[in-house]
Amino acid sequence: MEDDSIGTRIVGAARSLPELVVTNDDLAALVETSDEWIHTRSGIRTRHISRGESVSTLASDVFRKLVSGAGYDPDDIDLLILATVTPEYLTPSSATFVLRETGAKNAFAFDINAACTGFVYAVSVADKMLRSGLYKKAIVIAGDTLSKFVDWTDRATCVLFADGAGGVLMEACDGAPCILAEDLHTDGSYAMSLRAAKLPIKNPWYEDPGPEEPYVIMDGKAIYDFVVTEIPKSVRAILEKAAMTIDDIKYVICHQANSRIIEGVAKKLKTGIDKFYISISRYGNTSASSMPIALSEMMEKGLVHKGDRIIISGFGAGLTWGSLLVQF
């Protein structure tokens, strides 16, 4: 149960990317495409692709950066939530590998799977757990190596997806919560619109007659139409809950799926694209990590100050979507 006397705050943000940078021209050597074709349709110029870095490798790097940046020790963290759809193993959770690699001993840790909305869901969960009074310091990380699910002969998908991790350090504190309003949703009727890596049933008594290829399968038009309708509704919902308007918001950080989607959301909200922080040109679609990666860039550049209000909106497979109104 939440304690109204306990608030929360985001202390810092960090990111970690694989060393390999793949350009649009590099992809043009694999499939029939070009830098102009990719950039005009997605906004992407480059992306980072794993050459062995795993989700836990990248997430552990984010964990260390967050801890050292705040002047803490790994054992000061008592809650770790990792949002991912590309774990190394189905069990144990990738969060347990982060604890192993960082030497953190005191954190209660687990994974969640909410696709590209995972960071939004995880921050909401961490906020509630911190406000319960049971935990003091939480690290929320979103990370994926989507390249393991990509069909590198399919130009519709291989030009979009990339690898990376990002996260935030959150603390319990006296005062108001950092999340002023939230709006979270799932619609299972769209579950097949975006999926990857079906696990077939196979045992001595049954074998799945038609297992799918282990690649991303996406109905791009359906996703676009859904997002540019529902994300503006979600943003309006949290603004109404907080008795604010879009003019009270300094920045909006959308999941960096496609620059056209972000432009469509801005148009529906009747606000300028300059209110949206866009980093997709450098990183591609890194799933849920795209939002904390963008936030870490913004904090590095000094774009976020105490008292600023920022909306973070995610959307992804499920279909899942939602928005948070965060005050720093």
Question: Annotated catalytic sites, by residue?
Answer: 116, 255, 285
Q: Residue count of the chain, please give it.
A: 328
Within a 10 A sphere around the Cβ of 270, how many other Cβ atoms?
8
| CB contact at 8 A, 323 and 235 | yes
Alpha carbon distance 192, 110 (integer Å): 26
DSSP string, 207-256: E-SSPPPSS-EE-HHHHHHHHHHHHHHHHHHHHHHTT--GGG-SEEEE--
Alpha carbon distance 262, 24 (integer Å): 21
Contacts of 307 (CB under 8 A, 6+ apart): 327, 328
Within a 10 A sphere around the Cβ of 243, how many other Cβ atoms?
9
Measuring CA to CA, which residue among 128, 82, 73 is closest to residue 106? Answer: 73
Alpha carbon distance 226, 122 (integer Å): 22
